[in-house]
Amino acid sequence: MAIFARELIGKDVVDSHNETLGKMTDIVFDVQSGSITTIIVTLEGDLNPNMLPWDGEDGKVMIPVDDVSRFSKKIHLNK
């Protein structure tokens, strides 16, 4: 089943406890393979990006696709 980037942008991103981190606002692709390497998540207002295990700034975090367990109605992380 193919998933298009426009179907993912704006989806809620939840952690392994099903708690919402924020919304996916961008995607980084590997130019050669066309595979997703990273998702960019805009955090909900009260979350501190320094307390999360991913690099971030300006209220956004960059999450490697290896930390995504599945894409469905929400984007589920394995952490």
Per-residue pLDDT tens digits for 1-47: 456 667 789 999 999 999 999 999 999 999 999 888 999 999 998 88
pLDDT at 1: 45
Which domains, from first to last, does the chain contain?
Answer: 5-77 (2.30.30.240)
Distance CA 23, CA 5 (A): 14
Span 51-77, mean pLDDT? 93
Of all residues in the chain, the percent with pLDDT exceeding 90 is: 65
Distance CA 4, CA 63 (A): 18
Q: Are strands 60-64 and 68-71 parallel, antiparallel or unpaired?
A: unpaired
pLDDT at 3: 60
